[in-house]
Amino acid sequence: MSAQRATWAIFGLGLIGFPLVGGDFYINLASQIFIAAILAASLNLLVGYGGLVSLGHAAWVGLAAYSSAWLYLRLGLGHWN
Protein backbone atom coordinates (compact mmCIF):
# COMPACT_ATOMS: atom_id res chain seq x y z
CA MET A 1 0.00 0.00 0.00
CA SER A 2 1.41 3.36 -0.95
CA ALA A 3 1.81 6.17 1.55
CA GLN A 4 -0.97 8.17 -0.09
CA ARG A 5 -3.44 5.28 0.18
CA ALA A 6 -2.50 4.75 3.81
CA THR A 7 -3.08 8.43 4.52
CA TRP A 8 -6.53 8.31 2.90
CA ALA A 9 -7.37 5.12 4.80
CA ILE A 10 -6.46 6.72 8.13
CA PHE A 11 -8.44 9.83 7.21
CA GLY A 12 -11.48 7.71 6.29
CA LEU A 13 -11.30 5.73 9.53
CA GLY A 14 -11.05 8.98 11.45
CA LEU A 15 -14.20 10.27 9.76
CA ILE A 16 -16.05 7.05 10.53
CA GLY A 17 -14.98 7.09 14.18
CA PHE A 18 -15.56 10.80 14.75
CA PRO A 19 -19.27 10.53 15.68
CA LEU A 20 -18.39 7.98 18.35
CA VAL A 21 -15.93 10.21 20.21
CA GLY A 22 -16.96 13.76 19.25
CA GLY A 23 -19.38 15.83 21.27
CA ASP A 24 -22.75 17.00 20.00
CA PHE A 25 -21.43 20.46 19.12
CA TYR A 26 -18.58 19.12 17.00
CA ILE A 27 -20.77 16.54 15.27
CA ASN A 28 -23.28 19.27 14.36
CA LEU A 29 -20.47 21.55 13.19
CA ALA A 30 -18.92 18.80 11.06
CA SER A 31 -22.25 17.95 9.45
CA GLN A 32 -22.83 21.60 8.55
CA ILE A 33 -19.32 21.83 7.10
CA PHE A 34 -19.89 18.73 4.96
CA ILE A 35 -23.24 20.02 3.71
CA ALA A 36 -21.64 23.34 2.74
CA ALA A 37 -18.75 21.50 1.06
CA ILE A 38 -21.15 19.40 -1.02
CA LEU A 39 -23.01 22.55 -2.07
CA ALA A 40 -19.76 24.31 -2.97
CA ALA A 41 -18.48 21.33 -4.97
CA SER A 42 -21.71 21.04 -6.94
CA LEU A 43 -21.73 24.76 -7.69
CA ASN A 44 -18.09 24.56 -8.75
CA LEU A 45 -18.92 21.79 -11.21
CA LEU A 46 -21.96 23.59 -12.58
CA VAL A 47 -20.63 27.15 -12.80
CA GLY A 48 -16.90 26.54 -13.15
CA TYR A 49 -16.81 23.68 -15.60
CA GLY A 50 -20.24 23.93 -17.19
CA GLY A 51 -20.47 27.70 -17.43
CA LEU A 52 -24.09 27.63 -16.26
CA VAL A 53 -25.72 29.87 -13.67
CA SER A 54 -28.08 28.11 -11.30
CA LEU A 55 -30.28 29.53 -8.59
CA GLY A 56 -31.82 26.11 -8.06
CA HIS A 57 -29.05 25.10 -5.68
CA ALA A 58 -29.89 27.92 -3.31
CA ALA A 59 -33.59 27.08 -3.58
CA TRP A 60 -33.04 23.43 -2.65
CA VAL A 61 -30.78 24.33 0.27
CA GLY A 62 -33.33 26.89 1.48
CA LEU A 63 -36.15 24.35 1.15
CA ALA A 64 -34.15 21.78 3.10
CA ALA A 65 -33.39 24.30 5.85
CA TYR A 66 -37.03 25.35 6.07
CA SER A 67 -38.20 21.73 6.16
CA SER A 68 -35.69 20.82 8.86
CA ALA A 69 -36.73 23.76 11.02
CA TRP A 70 -40.42 22.96 10.52
CA LEU A 71 -39.94 19.30 11.45
CA TYR A 72 -37.96 20.28 14.53
CA LEU A 73 -40.41 22.92 15.76
CA ARG A 74 -43.71 21.22 14.89
CA LEU A 75 -42.95 17.54 15.36
CA GLY A 76 -39.93 17.62 17.66
CA LEU A 77 -37.78 15.66 15.24
CA GLY A 78 -34.21 16.67 15.94
CA HIS A 79 -31.24 16.27 13.65
CA TRP A 80 -29.87 13.12 15.31
CA ASN A 81 -33.09 11.52 16.59
Q: Which pLDDT tens digit goes with each residue over 3-57?
A: 889 899 998 888 888 778 878 888 888 888 988 898 889 888 888 888 888 778 8
Query: Could you tell me the pLDDT band of residue 66, with boundaries at 50, 70 and 90?
Result: very high
Q: Tell me whether residue 79 is in a domain.
A: yes
Listed residue (56, 73, 68, 57) closest to 32, CA to CA: 68
pTM of the predicted protein model = 0.61
Number of domains in the chain: 1
SS3 call for 1? coil
CB 77 within 8 A of CB 68: no
Domain that holds residue 76: 23-81
Query: Could you tell me the pLDDT band of residue 79, with boundaries at 50, 70 and 90?
Result: low
C-alpha distance from residue 28 to each of 45, 48, 58, 79 (Å)? 26, 29, 21, 9
Angle at 38 between CA 19 and CA 65, to 5 degrees: 80
